[in-house]
A and B are shown apart, each in its own frame.
Chain A
Amino acid sequence: MAPLLEVQGLSLAFGGVQALDNVSLDVEEGSITAVIGPNGAGKTSLFNTISGFYRPQTGRILLEGTDITHRPPPKRAALGLARTFQNIALFRGMTVLDNIKLGQHVHMKTGLLAAGLYLGWAQREEIALREEIEHDVIDFLEIDHIRNAPVAALPYGLQKRVELARALAMKPRLLLLDEPVAGMNREETEDMARFILDVREERGITVLLVEHDMDVVMDISDHVAVLNFGREIGAGSPAAVRDMPAVIEAYLGHADAEADMPGASGAS
């Protein structure tokens, strides 16, 4: 079976800076795949290229076999691509409920006239939407107590969860999570990790995530790809990636430098 997402030979440069250099990546259907790498490795550039904010100079992106390299972001949303952002990008002037409702935007049909007149059709669609997100998203992510709260007033961890809720409301095939647990305390991190696993188990949604928290990455992912300076330097199971010399070097520096560090000799 073909992978759900295929990234083939992607290169992206901003002026003289090579953000991505011939990066290839397959995301298998139903998997949780993590992209890791030091700061500036090109992880977010990769995400932004997959979501359609950047146009790569070379390479292709296939979602379920469809070439989406040159489609604008809204078209990708309709094909089942959803994402969250590293710095929360919720609609701050709205309540939690309205934010989540926006996730379903592409799946709804009401036009300007029907919306303003709130005729039968528009009304039925709105109420069906409400019932669906109440059951599928709000209950699922345990945010029923804050549904009417303005998002700007929520604590950071909950805002991250609302952003996940909004992405889930899009009924995606592939969910991109850009640093889902960054800046969270241990409890919030564990909650989020559990929700990510539930999303895969109960919804069958494939997840691709960027994360710096290695404990989370090693615990929940099936497959890990490592980037450094825009290049893929390793890929495989979490256990395999952890022991790759190139990966250790990228994170810790050269092997001889490592040998000089106190306590490094016994760690192997």
Chain B
Amino acid sequence: MLIGNFKERYEADEAIFRTTRSRVWLGIAVALIVAFPFVGNSYHLYMAGLIGINIIAATGINILTGYTGLISLGHAAFMGVGAYTVAWLSNNVGLPFYICLPLGGLVAAAVGVVVGIPSLRIKGLYLAIATLAAQFILGFVFNEWEPVTGGGRGTSLAAAEIGGIVLDTEFELYWLIVVVMVLALLFARNLFRTRVGRAFIAVRDRDISAEVMGINLLRTKLTAFALSSFYAGLAGGLMAYFFKVVSPEQYTFSVSIFMLAAVVVGGMGTILGGILGAIFMTLIPEILGEITQIFGAGAVAMLSSAREVVFGLLIVGFLVFEPRGLAQIWKRIKRVYEIWPFRT
């Protein structure tokens, strides 16, 4: 039973992981992440890589929608901007991936800021529609700007390479994605225990008092757009190296919805929510697919549509039973064992 959490110094109370328990969980997570590639086969590593990329993208949209309260329906387009930037720089300038990736993020951030400009005047659904417009405009650009994007067929790029090692198997890409993901998550976690992140949440919760506190609304909202799109751009860039091809149908509206759903299912406004949501949304369709296999080849065709229905029902079910997402469920489970043998 955890009866209290006492600190003698404010430094200790302001630390990033405050309790021994959270540090133990972190240790377990790190051990699992490090051990995983030596245990899993290439399919497992492929799924793990996808999850890692989706965690980065979901954390990005979480910064904007979950923490700052600005709904974005155009996140896949920002990912696409990152992916095409990486492909173009890699093919035409020949820059190495560790320069291409941040640049992809920065270009996506710049596009995100432009898309975010109306957010000072419009909120809620209206802003959602404005970002939706950005999704379709950018999707059109991906399709039609052939010299840069390769049009509908897309464009391919060479594998990432560092110090003579070519990162082209799932095993090597796994490490690349894990490193970027961990850095991205640490950055976000730090952000929300300091001044800038608090301002984001203040804008979400009560923009009028945020202004009275001296928070510049426009600058804060644009910063959130920039950072969120930077994350999307990073995720898109990693996807480019992951699939070694960039094409418009990877970054459609339905991908935007997928990312938004991941954050809603996982829990808006918590870092853990983005992580859990991305894992859930990536894995559940695969697991449901595996289950339909059990019923034999003849059933697959019939059950594959049922799979979509079950997936949708699961999402709705989570939202009905825990609107604050998987992160809240996890919190409740934690509460039960922390105060065991007593009950809430």
Q: Are B214 and A91 in contact (CB under 8 A)?
A: no
B115: interface (CB < 8 Å): no
Query: Which residues in B have their C-beta under 8 angstroms from that of A53?
Result: 208
Question: Can you name the residue of chain B whose Cβ is closest to the Cβ of A109?
Answer: B195
Contact between chains at A105 and B190 (CB < 8 Å): no
- Could you tell me if A93 and B194 are in contact, using CB atoms closer than 8 angstroms? no
Beta-carbon contacts under 8 Å, B287-318 to A:
none
CB contact under 8 A between A98 and B198, given known A89-B208, A115-B190, A126-B193: yes
Quote the shortest CB–CB distance from A79 to chain B (angstroms): 10
Whether B206 and A90, one on each chain, are in contact in the complex, defined by CB atoms closer than 8 angstroms, is: yes
Chain B residues contacting A118 (CB-CB under 8 Å) are 16, 190, 193-194
Q: CB-CB < 8 A to A103: which residues of B?
A: 213
Q: Chain A, 76-91, contact with B by CB distance < 8 Å: what is the 0/1 string? A: 0110001101000111
Q: Within 8 Å of chain A (Cβ to Cβ): is B286?
A: no
Q: Which of A225-250 contact B (CB under 8 A)?
A: none
Are B195 and A110 in touch, CB under 8 angstroms? yes
Interface size of B in residues (CB-CB distance below 8 Å): 33
B223 touches A112 (CB 8 A): yes
Inter-subunit contact B269/A105 (CB<8 Å): no
A85 and B209 within 8 A (CB): yes
Residue A61, interface by CB 8 Å:
no
Residue B114 at the chain A interface, CB threshold 8 Å:
no
Taken together as a complex, chains A and B put the C-alpha atoms of A52 and B206 apart, in Å, by 16
CB distance from A51 to the nearest CB of B (A): 6
CB contacts (< 8 Å) of B213 on chain A: these are 74, 77, 102-103, 105-106, 166, 170
Cβ–Cβ contact A110 & B206, under 8 A = no
Task: Say what secondary structure dominates the interface of chain A.
Answer: helix
Taken together as a complex, chains A and B put the C-alpha atoms of A122 and B191 apart, in Å, by 10
The answer to whether B187 touches A102 (Cβ under 8 A) is no
Question: Closest CB-CB distance, B80 to chain A, in whole Å?
Answer: 24
Contacts of B199 in A (CB 8 A): 102, 105
Q: How far is the CB of A22 from chain B (nearest CB, A)?
A: 26
Q: State whether B205 touches A73 (Cβ < 8 A).
A: no
On chain A, the number of residues with a Cβ less than 8 Å from chain B's Cβ atoms is 41
For residue B215, CB closer than 8 A to chain A, the reply is yes
A98 to B227 alpha-carbon distance, docked (Å)? 22
A106 to B220 alpha-carbon distance, docked (Å) = 13
Is A91 a contact of B187 with CB atoms below 8 Å?
Answer: no
> Is A116 a contact of B190 with CB atoms below 8 Å?
yes
Closest Cβ–Cβ distance, residue A80 to chain B (whole Å): 10
Q: B278 within 8 Å of A by Cβ?
A: no
With both chains docked as a complex, state the minimum distance between the C-beta of B154 and any C-beta of chain A, in angstroms.
33
- Chain A residues near B244 (CB-CB < 8 A): none
Residue contact A115 to B208, C-beta cutoff 8 Å:
no
- Expressed in whole angstroms, the minimum distance between the Cβ of A95 and any Cβ of chain B is 11
If A53-B208, A78-B214 touch, whether A131 touches B195 (CB-CB below 8 Å) is no
Residues of the A chain whose Cβ atoms lie less than 8 Å from the Cβ of B202: 91, 94, 102, 105
Residues B14 and A73 in contact, CB atoms below 8 Å apart: no
Choose from A102, A111, A117 the contact partner of B190 (Cβ within 8 Å): A117
Please give, as numbers and ranges, the residues of chain B lying within 8 Å of A52 by CB-CB distance.
211
Q: Which residue of the partner chain B has the closest CB to A79?
A: B214
Bound together, the chains give a CA A111 to CA B216 distance in angstroms of 13
A140: shortest Cβ distance to chain B, in Å? Answer: 17
How far apart are the CA atoms of A157 and B312 in the complex, in Å? 44
Known contacts A85-B209, A127-B11; is-contact A74 B215 (Cβ 8 Å): yes
CB-defined contacts of B269 to chain A, threshold 8 Å: 93
Q: How far, in Å, is B179 (CB) from chain A's closest CB?
A: 16
Query: Do A74 and B191 touch across chains, with their CB atoms under 8 A apart?
Result: no
1/0 per position for A57-75, CB-CB distance to B under 8 A?
Answer: 0000000000000001110
Shortest CB distance B11–A (Å): 6
What's the nearest-Cβ distance from chain A to residue B246, in Å? 27
Binary flags per residue of B200-229, CB closer than 8 Å to A gives 1, else 0: 011011101111111110000001000100
Instruction: Look across to chain A and name the residue whose beta carbon is closest to the beta carbon of B13.
Output: A130
**Residue in B13, B198, B205, B212 whose CB lies within 8 Å of A101:** B198
Cα distance, A53 to B207, chains bound together (Å): 12
Q: Determine whether A92 belongs to the interface, using a CB cutoff of 8 Å to chain B.
A: yes
In the bound complex, what is the Cα–Cα distance between A249 and B227 (angstroms)? 58
Q: Which residues of B contact A89 (CB under 8 A)?
A: 206, 208-209
Please give the distance in Å from B271's CB to the nearest CB on chain A: 12
Which of B193, B196, B209, B227 sits near A90, CB closer than 8 Å? B209
Q: Is A188 an interface residue (CB 8 A)?
A: no
* Contact (Cβ within 8 A) A126 B194: yes
Minimum CB distance partner of A74 in chain B: B214
Point out the residues of chain B lying under 8 angstroms from A98, CB to CB.
198, 201
Q: What is the distance, in angstroms, from B263's C-beta to the closest C-beta of chain A?
A: 15
Query: What are the 7 closest A-B residue pairs judged by CB atoms, nearest first?
Result: A106-B214, A77-B214, A91-B205, A116-B187, A115-B194, A118-B190, A89-B209
Show 26 residue pairs from A and B whose CB-CB distance is below 8 angstroms, ordered by the A residue: A52-B211, A74-B213, A74-B214, A90-B205, A90-B209, A91-B205, A92-B206, A93-B204, A93-B205, A101-B198, A102-B198, A102-B202, A102-B213, A102-B215, A105-B214, A106-B213, A110-B194, A112-B191, A112-B196, A116-B187, A116-B191, A117-B190, A118-B193, A118-B194, A123-B14, A130-B13
Given A92-B205, A112-B227, 12 extra CB contacts under 8 A = A89-B209, A91-B209, A93-B269, A101-B195, A102-B210, A105-B199, A105-B215, A116-B191, A117-B190, A118-B193, A130-B14, A131-B10
